[in-house]
C-alpha cells in the first residue's frame, strides 16, 4: 500500500511484526532508549513526511512507560510532517477504570472486538460446542455472553456474587443450568484470576462436564499462573494483545488466539477509507 508506514513501540514487537507481515510490509525504523534520568527518547529512523502512519503499542508490561513512549512517538511523527497518525492499541491502558467511556477522546476512535475470533475458536476447538453453555463470571458481563450465546444459538448463564454482610466472603450463585454440559466462561480480561478460578469450581460443582475460559486480555499477574494450574480448566484461551510466550512455558493450559489479522485489516480499511464495522462480525482470512 502506498503512503503508509507502520511503526512498533517496545511493548509487543512480535504482534507488530505479524501485523506488518499480513499487510506485506516491513516495520518502520525506530529507536527507543532512555536518557540517564530515565526519560524516554524516541528517534524515527526514516521519513514520514506526507505518510499515513500507524503506531502499534499495547497497554501491557511497564504500562506507564509504554503509554509515554506511544505519546512521544506520535509527537515525533507529527513534528516530522506525517499526514495522519493513528495509534493501534491492542490492549487499552487504564481501561479497567473505564476512562474510554467518559469523554476521554475528542478524536475518532474505533473499538474493535475479539468476539468473531472467539466464535471461530469455539467452533474449531470444542467438539461439543452446539450443546455448551456460555457463562459470565459476574453480572457485568451479561451483555457479552448473551451476544456470543445468541450467535452460537446456545444457552447462557451467569454467576452472581452475593454479599451477606460487609467483610464476609462472597457467595457465588449460578443463574442458569450447566448440568452435563461444557461450560465456557467468557470475560474481557483476567488479572490475578481469582474470580474465574472460583467460577470454574462453582461450575464443576453444578454439574459441568468441562470448563473453558476465554478471555480477551490475559494480564496474569501475581498468583494467576499458579491458580490456573491448580484450577479445573480444560484450557484458558486468550488473545495475543499481550505477550504470553513466557507464561505459556509454565502454564500449559494457556492457549492463544492470534488477532493480528483483525488489526491488520483494520489498518488497511482505515487507510483506504473503508468501513471498519465489517470486523465487528467477521474474522478476515
pLDDT in tens, 7-44: 999 999 999 999 999 999 999 999 988 888 989 999 99
User: How far from chain centre, in Å, is Cα 202?
Assistant: 25
Work out the average pLDDT over 193-213.
95
d(CA 197, CA 191): 11
Would you place residue 4 in the very low, low, confident or very high pLDDT band (cuts 50, 70, 90)? very high
Q: Are 73 and 30 in contact (CB under 8 A)?
A: yes
Tens digits of per-residue pLDDT, 225-273? 999 999 999 999 999 999 999 999 999 999 999 999 999 999 999 999 9
Q: 210 lies in a domain?
A: yes
For residue 169, pLDDT over 90 is answered with no
What is the Cα–Cα distance from 87 to 74, expressed in whole angstroms? 8
Give the pLDDT of residue 170: 65
DSSP 8-state class, residue 120: H
Q: Are residues 79 and 199 in the same domain?
A: no
Domain containing residue 209: CATH number:
3.40.50.2020
User: What is the CB neighbour count within 10 angstroms for residue 65?
Assistant: 16
Which grid coordinates are listed for 107?
478524536
CA separation for the pair 237, 112 (Å, rounded): 18
Indicate if the pLDDT at residue 45 is higher than 90. yes
DSSP string, 182-214: EEEEEEEEESS-HHHHHHHHHHHHTT-SEEEEE
Nearest to 53 by CA among 110, 10, 22, 9: 9
**Assigned C-alpha cell, 167:** 467483610
Do 19 and 149 belong to one domain? Answer: no
How many whole angstroms separate alpha carbon 252 and alpha carbon 235? 8
| Host domain of residue 8 | 4-95
Residue at 72 is within a domain: yes
Average pLDDT, the chain: 92
Question: Which DSSP category does 262 fall into?
Answer: H
Q: Are residues 62 and 152 in the same domain?
A: no
Structural domain count, the chain: 2
How far is C-alpha 151 from the chain's CA centre?
20
- Tens digit of pLDDT for each residue in 111-127? 999 999 999 999 999 99
Q: Are residues 130 and 248 in the same domain?
A: yes
Are 131 and 243 contained in the same domain? yes
- C-alpha cell, 249: 512455558
Rg (CA), the chain: 21
Q: Please state the length of the chain.
A: 285
Answer whether 241's CB lies under 8 Å from 92's CB: no
Q: What percent of the chain lies above the pLDDT cut of 90?
A: 81
Identify the helix (H) or strand (E) that includes residue 70. helix 63-79
Amino acid at each position: 500500500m502506498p503512503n503508509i508506514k507502520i511503526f512498533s513501540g517496545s511493548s509487543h514487537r512480535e504482534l507488530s511484526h505479524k501485523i506488518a507481515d499480513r499487510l506485506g510490509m516491513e516495520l518502520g525504523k525506530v529507536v527507543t532508549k532512555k536518557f540517564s534520568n530515565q526519560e524516554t527518547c524516541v528517534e524515527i529512523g526514516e521519513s514520514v513526511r506526507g505518510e499515513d502512519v500507524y503506531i502499534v503499542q499495547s497497554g501491557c508490561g511497564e504500562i506507564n512507560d509504554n503509554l509515554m513512549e506511544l505519546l512521544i512517538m506520535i509527537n515525533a511523527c507529527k513534528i516530522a510532517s506525517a499526514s495522519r497518525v493513528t495509534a493501534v492499541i491492542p490492549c487499552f491502558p487504564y481501561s479497567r477504570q473505564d476512562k474510554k467511556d467518559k469523554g476521554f477522546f475528542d478524536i475518532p476512535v474505533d473499538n474493535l472486538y475479539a468476539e468473531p475470533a472467539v466464535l471461530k475458536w469455539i467452533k474449531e476447538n470444542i467438539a461439543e460446542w452446539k450443546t455448551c453453555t456460555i457463562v459470565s463470571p459476574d453480572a457485568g458481563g451479561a451483555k457479552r455472553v448473551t451476544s456470543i450465546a445468541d450467535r452460537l444459538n446456545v444457552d447462557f448463564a451467569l454467576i452472581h456474587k452475593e454479599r451477606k454482610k460487609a467483610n464476609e466472603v462472597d457467595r457465588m450463585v449460578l443463574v442458569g443450568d450447566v448440568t452435563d454440559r461444557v461450560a465456557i466462561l467468557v470475560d474481557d480480561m483476567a488479572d490475578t484470576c481469582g474470580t474465574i478460578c472460583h467460577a470454574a469450581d462453582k461450575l464443576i460443582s453444578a454439574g459441568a462436564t468441562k470448563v473453558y475460559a476465554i478471555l480477551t486480555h490475559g494480564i496474569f499477574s501475581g498468583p494467576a499462573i499458579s491458580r490456573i494450574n491448580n484450577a479445573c480448566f480444560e484450557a484458558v484461551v486468550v488473545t495475543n494483545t499481550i505477550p504470553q510466550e513466557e507464561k505459556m512455558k509454565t502454564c500449559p493450559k494457556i492457549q492463544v488466539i492470534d488477532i493480528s489479522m483483525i488489526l491488520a485489516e483494520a489498518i488497511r480499511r482505515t487507510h483506504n477509507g473503508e468501513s471498519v464495522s465489517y470486523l465487528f462480525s467477521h474474522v478476515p482470512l
